Amino acid sequence: MADSPEPLDFLDVDHLLTDEERAIRDTVRDWVGERVLPGIETWFEAGEFPLEVAKELGGMGLLGMHLTGYGCAGSNAVSYGLACLELEAGDSGFRSYVSVQGSLCMFPIWKFGSEEQKERWLPPMARGEVIGCFGLTEPDAGSDPGRMRTSARRDGDDWVLSGTKMWITNGSVADLAIVWARTDEGIRGFLVPTETPGFSASDVHRKLSLRASVTSELVLDEVRLPGDAVLPGVTGMKGPLSSLSEARFGIVWGSMGAARACFASALEYAKTRVQWGKPIGGFQLTQRKFADMAVELNKGTLLALHLGRMKDEGRLSPQHVSMGKLNNVREALEIAREARTILGASGITLEYPVIRHMNNLESVLTYEGTTEIHTLILGEALTGLRAYE
């Protein structure tokens, strides 16, 4: 028989990875240990995202890492997922930064952009010199973004954009905003340099979740753009939705990183915290919590790996991603909440990572399609009947 399983990788998922995937995973894990964990409590408490640290992500090839050419690393989907997992084990804010930059901003340029747009924007974005944001959600259009009001009209050769976007990650620190707007031809994506007159961004304050991440409102007041600012390769909701599918894939993995961090923290605590004369990890009720958490953590990680292999084989559909996002974020949040109970009163402080991850996961549950919307996407895929409108 083999040795007793390793608590943090009970099913030996490590064995299912290639040497290259393991090397990328270890590099990101080490970087998170050196650059994220020492500062994250301070940044979270102050409500700041350390852009100077994040710029290093470009140097490691993590920005747009699953894209090919134009200075992107061209890694496989599993490697990208593993990077997301390790980053989110640090904090969801860092995984969000990488998801927004690589999947929500670079992917649509890479997939739907002109050659000039790709050459101009992708290399500096891959290096982290140009920061992107993705403007889809509006104050009155969240789960149903197709009803957006932001519009773009032609004026001679130019486009003129007007509208408001809400809850936009990196909005006020971005150099380039990908803005989705209604046109006479349908919804189109626009590349908006944020120094363009009429563009402004202000931050959302008093957040109790994803505090180490910038969230902004964008206002576009008659923003005039040249005719070639539009993404030529897509019209309609396919543009933003396909980008969201890419980012959701990262969440399927990342959420398991947050869950693993909570599990590890509670496990350590339960072995040393003594009540009734023995470590609380020795009580049956605590062990049941760990057993349940370990089952979901391992199932979720295997699901992420399975979806990653399907993506690398070109067999992954948006509905598969919905299943992964629905399950893994829901279970990660349950693991975080259960871990929090094991830490008792200590679990409500920032001395331990658990409540930070728990609060972050509330945002992750909502953004990139809420739990309810992914449930309805699965419902439609299973029954053929659409229930969300």
Ligand X SMILES: Cc1cc2nc3c(=O)[nH]c(=O)nc-3n(C[C@H](O)[C@H](O)[C@H](O)COP(=O)(O)OP(=O)(O)OC[C@H]3O[C@@H](n4cnc5c(N)ncnc54)[C@H](O)[C@@H]3O)c2cc1C
For the bound state, the minimum distance from the C-beta of residue 296 to ligand X, rounded and expressed in Å, comes to 22
CB of 32 to ligand X, least distance (A): 20
Residue 177 vs residues 68, 120, 136: alpha-carbon distances, Å: 22, 14, 10
- Pick the binder of ligand X from 44, 94, 112, 167 (CB under 6 A): 167
Least separation, in Å, of the C-beta of 254 and ligand X? Answer: 14
Strands (E), 18-119: none
Which one of residues 366, 378, 380, 381 is an interface residue with ligand X (CB under 6 A)?
A: 366
CB 208 within 8 A of CB 140: no
Q: How far is the CB of 84 from ligand X (least distance, A)?
A: 16
Question: Per the structure block, which two tokens stand in for 353?
Answer: 């990572």
Q: Does 363 bind ligand X (CB under 6 A)?
A: yes
- What is the separation of C-alpha 165 from the centre of its chain, rounded to a whole number of angstroms? 19
CB 201: neighbour CB atoms within 10 A?
Answer: 20
Backbone angles phi, psi at 9, to 5 degrees: -150, 65
Q: Contact letters (x/-) for ligand X, 115-154, by CB under 6 A?
A: -------------------xxxx----xx-----------
> Which of 78, 83, 89, 168 touches ligand X (CB under 6 A)?
168
**β-pair type (186-193, 199-203):** unpaired
256 binds ligand X (CB under 6 A): no
User: What six digits make up the tokens of 155?
Assistant: 């004026």
Which lies closer to ligand X via its Cβ, residue 167 or residue 269? Answer: 167
3-state helix, strand, coil split of the chain in percent (to 5) is 55, 15, 30
By CB under 6 A, tell whether 373 contacts ligand X: yes
Please, which residue, 277 or 384, has the CB nearer to ligand X? 384
Judged by CB under 6 A, does residue 379 bind ligand X?
no
CB 226 within 8 A of CB 214: no
Binding site for ligand X (CB under 6 A): 100, 134-137, 142-143, 167-169, 210, 215, 363, 366-368, 370, 372-373, 376, 388
